[in-house]
Amino acid sequence: MIKKAIHIVLPFALFFLFVFAVSKTNNPAASFQLLTTEENFVAGKPITLAFSTPSKIATADLFIIHSYGKTLLKSKNNNGQLLFKIPAIYSQKTGFTSWYLLQNKKTIVTGSFKITPNNNTPTLLENYLGPTTLLTGLNHFTMMVAIPTDSYDNPKEDNTTVLIKDQFLNDIRITAEKTKSFIAWKNIYSRTTVGKMLVSTECENTDSKEFETDIRPSIGKDFSISFSRNHKFADGNQITKLETSIIRDQFGNLVGDGTLVTFQITTKNNILLKTFAATINGIAIAQLLHPDHEDTYRVKGYVTGIAESKPIEISYNALINTFPYQFSEKNREITVGPLKSFMKQIIPDGIKVELKIFHHNNLIETKIAESSKGITTFYLLPPFYKEKEYQFEITTLGVTQKTEIKKYENN
Amino acid sequence: MKIINNRNIYKTALILSFILISIFALLGLAKTLDYLNTGAERTSMLHLETESEDIYLPKVNWTKLDNPAREMEKNTLGKIERDYLFSWYVKNNALENNTSKGIDYYYTQNTRENLYRTINYNKSHEITIENTTIKHFPELEFYSEDGQLVVFTDKNVVEFQKLYQNKQLITSIQDTATYKVMMLLEDGFWRVRHLLKMKSEAFAPDTIKANPIYTVKNNQILQNKIPYTIKGINYYPKNSAWDTFGERFNKDTIAVDFDIMKKANLNTVRVFIQYGDFGKAKIIPEKLEKLKVLLDLAEAKKLAVIVTLFDFYSDYTIDSWTLTHRHAEQIVSTFKDHKAILAWDLKNEPNLDFENRDKDNVLSWLDHITTVVKENDPNHLITIGWSNSVEATNLADKMDFISYHFYNDMQHLEYETNKLLKTTKKPVVIEEFGVPSYGGMWNLWEGSIKKQAAYHQKMQTYFKKNNYSFMSWTLYDFPHVPDQVAGKWPWQKMRQKKFGFIDDKGNNKPAFKYISN
């Protein structure tokens, strides 16, 4: 009988125990109210949000969304009060923090607070200056951007004053700029002379280091060119020097060393030649080989796309009017020379001599050789030149001479 | 002679070990040289290589570009936007997996420390947070003269997050905030230097004026303000079942089919767009062309179209949300003024994914897709094709009309439909119904074309009596059914092939008589 009673009572007892346990472990739904009235906090100061609830056991979690992260905070019900301590990693950084009080997978209260930069900590200054080189002139500028922060690396609020200073020679200028969107900035304009400019900033007793920007000459103005040479003869050997005047920008500064000047040369036959030189101290000196025949060069200098000179003319006189030549070895060997220069000196080695071979007025071949000690020799090998007669045209140093028709024996 | 003796073994071992040592030495040298060469290419040093895969595509709309300093170049803006979105992506990833992977690419040295601290805190408390941002409206504040520093305000960033502790979902939360951002150009990356969360601002009022043809009043869909009862059919061309816009797309075939529908006194057709087939986040233009051809034909034949989006999509993870948003956005904004469209059906039978993909997740996804579609196309109605009437109440208040699929015993039709009409107070469409005419060994010779006809006859009397909107499944029997639809086994497939009013040879089945009322 007792056994039977146990069989009946035990399931009931277990059931009630279970129900009790469930109601104990379940978080009962309750209303919560924010006690913390403050909505603005200063970075670095501890932040605690307090909630009150009529329930003595209900708990809730706090989800926070911050500039740099999100997390979930737990709390215990302490006699109807819940305290959430915001971790230092969040209370040190500024921004608008949203919070959501969650209970049993539901949001029951939401709200937000704002953390502002801590103005009692030493100010830090981050600066960016760019571009770091400038051209002279009134339109060019470099930009100084200053980002003042508190010691927790939080950008200061808008309207924080930053002094931006620049020095160039005796000229020191200081302006006060207000921050907006994290930054205070200023365009620092270039000057008309070349040199170094120093820029620095100051905010709330914190000074930046000095930043340097170079003011470099701007683009050159038109210039003139001149030439110098050893003699005026077209010997194909001497060199004519082409030289620019000092090239300056519009404010009289020498253009930067290494500015490339192109000298463009037009010959009498409208052939274009070029030579180049880079400037040193504003002057570019280029070299030009003398022609090996009479010619007049028209030379013009360019800094491509920027500046140019007026053209000049250079004339080269012919070295010789005529030259001797002989036939020997049954007319198979042709010796040109000796070629003599303007003082009857033997011309320098390496002068080009051209021999055109005609047969019945048809050009068969052109041979080219260079002179050595004033003499150039051509040899017509019998197996290659089998005709009975040939005529020749010899050209050197811009002079052309036609020979008579020469007879050849067949071997 | 004894071949195997000790000496031969030693010889072989010696030669083999020599070869092995040589191989390892060569491999080692190659590895060393390889290592010494890494990072030496200019492209890798300057990070010039472009990421080609779309992984994170929230809506970004630069509302203001003029600023007091340097004029913004289009190319730079693109790079800033890309790196800024990556900064969100790595941050989201960090919060989800508590990993610092990628943070050093998109945050400067000082700034990344803040994120590392959050990661460590959440890791030690076993908190993980899945995040995505839905929309960004950045306004340029400042772009420095040397092109190395930029400040902008990203207004009203909509953030959606799911919060977990000890791998248990706690809740999901949507938050809107404005962020002020400073980025610096470092090593070819635009990196976040400062980030400041600010109070969100009032959203700009919607300026797009809706000009709808189809509207809804109480339990009734209206066409140009005249009550409109849908007498419709689900449609795939006979030879391209579940692949309307595939290789076999043919204008003439569709035109003929639309004529059949029109002659049979139908007024609406439901078609399906597959997520992958249309190109996921980057819609393939040819597919839009094909859809336009179909819609133009429908307009010419005076048929209304319900276009079902996201067929064969079943991911729903927060990671891919923004990609699906871009998918929907491109399609619906292209056709926002098309007169043939009656409604966008956001997803076919999403409740079938409740079990495997988490109900909350699926519903939040649908909720956000609703917003995306409504924002980009205010002219057309929206609905979701639920697979039964019980689930059809989900998100009912966001829908223009309620759609559900009825494959139960016919007797329940009126009860289920009337209940929905009453609870939702919105028009209700029986968006799919039907029986297969298949009778064979796989269903014990249960169905027949006569039984199918009888079913449709009876259904039509219900529809007529109650003036229900209906869409039958489906116009054709299909010679081929893809495996993804019903399954790969014959007892699954055979049924699915025989739902049509017209058999696969093109002959009308007896049920064709009762295709409409």
Tell me, what's the ipTM?
0.80
Q: Does domain A225-316 have CATH number 3.30.365.10?
A: no
pLDDT, mean of residues A2-19:
62
Query: What per-residue confidence (pLDDT) applies to B493?
Result: 82
Interface test with B, best of A27, A64, A72 (most B CBs within 10 A): A72
Amino acid letter at B358? D
Over chain A, what is the mean pLDDT? 90
Among B151, B161, B170, select the one facing A183 at the smallest CB separation: B151
Higher-scoring residue by pLDDT: A347, B206: A347
Answer yes or no: is pLDDT of A23 > 50.
no
A62 touches chain B (CB under 8 A): no
- The residue with tokens 């035990």 is A10
Least confident of A98-112, A251-265, B34-48, B355-369: B34-48
Least confident of A17-26, A212-221, B12-21, B250-259: A17-26
The Cα–Cα gap between B255 and B295 comes to: 11
b (16+ CB within 10 A) / e for A95-118: bbbbbbbbbeeeebbeebbebebb
Query: What per-residue confidence (pLDDT) applies to A5?
Result: 64
- pLDDT tens for each residue of B221-250: 999 999 999 999 999 998 888 999 999 999
A350 touches chain B (CB under 8 A): no
Query: What per-residue confidence (pLDDT) applies to B3?
Result: 58
DSSP classification of residue B47: T
Query: What per-residue confidence (pLDDT) applies to A411?
Result: 54
Answer yes or no: is pLDDT of B182 > 80.
yes
In chain A, what are the domain boundaries? Answer: 33-116, 124-216, 225-316, 325-407
**With an 8 Å Cβ cutoff, are A68 and B118 in contact?**
yes
**For the CA atoms of B262, B433, B296, B215, what is the dihedral angle to 10 degrees?**
100
**With an 8 Å Cβ cutoff, are B95 and A69 in contact?**
yes
Answer yes or no: is pLDDT of B46 > 70.
no
CATH of domain A325-407: 2.60.40
B99 touches chain A (CB under 8 A): no
Evaluate whether B311 touches B348 at the Cβ level (below 8 Å). yes
Pull the structure tokens for residue A6. 């146990």
**With an 8 Å Cβ cutoff, are A187 and B145 in contact?**
yes
**Distances from the Cα of B430 to the Cα of A204, B234, B404, B434, angstroms:** 72, 11, 5, 11
Over chain B, what is the mean pLDDT? 91
B170 touches chain A (CB under 8 A): yes
Answer yes or no: is pLDDT of B203 > 80.
no
Of all residues in chain B, what percent carry a pLDDT higher than 90?
A: 77
Among B121, B169, B179, select the one facing A71 at the smallest CB separation: B121
**For the CA atoms of A35, A41, A46, A47, what is the dihedral angle to 10 degrees?**
30
Give the strand pairing for B381-386 and B402-406. parallel
CATH of domain A124-216: 2.60.40.1930
Task: Indicate left, alpha or beta for B102 from its phi (over 0: left) and psi (-120 to 50: alpha).
Answer: left
- pLDDT bin (cut points 50, 70, 90) of residue B494 is confident
- pLDDT bin (cut points 50, 70, 90) of residue B50 is low
The Cα–Cα gap between B232 and B265 comes to: 9
The Cα–Cα gap between A150 and A161 comes to: 14
pLDDT, mean of residues A65-84:
92
Answer yes or no: is pLDDT of B1 > 60.
no
Answer yes or no: is pLDDT of A272 > 90.
yes
pLDDT, mean of residues A275-301:
94
The Cα–Cα gap between A111 and B78 comes to: 35
**For the CA atoms of B250, B256, B259, B260, what is the dihedral angle to 10 degrees?**
-120
Evaluate whether A368 touches A394 at the Cβ level (below 8 Å). no
Q: Residue window 187-206, chain A: list those with CB within 8 Å of chain B.
A: 187
Question: Do A33-116 and A124-216 share a fold?
Answer: yes
Least confident of A203-212, B35-44, B440-449: B35-44
Nearest CA in chain B to A87: B121
**With an 8 Å Cβ cutoff, are A65 and B159 in contact?**
yes
Least confident of A272-286, A374-388, B39-53, B315-329: B39-53
Which of these CATH numbers, 1.10.490.130, 3.90.650.10, 2.60.40.1930, 3.30.565.60, describes A33-116?
2.60.40.1930
- pLDDT tens for each residue of B22-33: 999 999 999 998
- The residue with tokens 């020979």 is A403
Domains and CATH numbers, chain B: 59-198 (3.10.450.240), 214-514 (3.20.20.80)
Query: What per-residue confidence (pLDDT) applies to A44?
Result: 94
A210: CB partners within 8 A, 6+ apart: A198, A199, A200
Query: What per-residue confidence (pLDDT) applies to B205?
Result: 67
Beta carbon pairs, A and B, within 8 Å:
127
φ, ψ at B370 (rounded to 5°): -55, -45
How many CB atoms are closer than 10 A to CB B213?
18
pTM of the model: 0.80
**With an 8 Å Cβ cutoff, are B95 and A70 in contact?**
yes
Evaluate whether A151 touches A118 at the Cβ level (below 8 Å). yes
- pLDDT bin (cut points 50, 70, 90) of residue B496 is confident
